[in-house]
Amino acid sequence: MSTAKGSCLCNSVTYEVEVPFERFMYCHCQRCRKATGSPHASNGFVKRDKFRWLTGENLVRRYDLPEAKRFALQNCSNCGSKLPHHTRDGSMMVIPTGTLDEDPGSRPQAIVFWGSRAPWFTDCSEMTKHEEMPG
């Protein structure tokens, strides 16, 4: 067991999680696409006791989607970044892996809600790659 730290964009909220993740997957469901503004969410899952906030917990805002059985998210009320959230039953933490500042050691194993992917979604292997934004 080791730990990986993460933070929001404004760095007010920081956390630490014990890794590796139990599960690590990309989710293409419409809710995740809306919540992330991206083609898919990238989430790691750990038991809740493997997670702790380090700073800024008072800035963490939660949203439980009313019509959903499970869907929830948390974000930083200062910068708006998505942050880890606990599942509604309280047993697990869902870590949006883009917020990690360290390598969790785990790699994504599965894609879920592939059937809901955006029509414009393109596999990265088919795209031109630049190390940074080209001029």
**Which residues lie near Zn ion (CB under 5 A)?**
8, 10, 12, 27, 29, 32, 76, 78-79
Which lies closer to Zn ion via its Cβ, residue 98 or residue 105?
98
Q: Between 2 and 88, whose beta carbon lies closer to Zn ion?
A: 88
CB 69, min distance to Zn ion, A: 13
Please state the closest distance from residue 38 (CB atom) to Zn ion, in A. Answer: 11
- Measure the CA–CA gap between 78 and 49, rounded to whole angstroms: 26
User: Closest CB to Zn ion among 6 and 104?
Assistant: 6
**CB of 29 or CB of 72, closer to Zn ion:** 29
Task: Give the whole-angstrom CA distance, residue 127 versus residue 106.
Answer: 24
Q: How far is the CB of 118 from Zn ion (least distance, A)?
A: 12
CA separation (Å) from 61 to 46, 58, 95? 20, 8, 15
In whole angstroms, the minimum distance from the beta carbon of 1 to Zn ion comes to 27
Rounded to 5 degrees, φ, ψ at 95 are: -105, 115
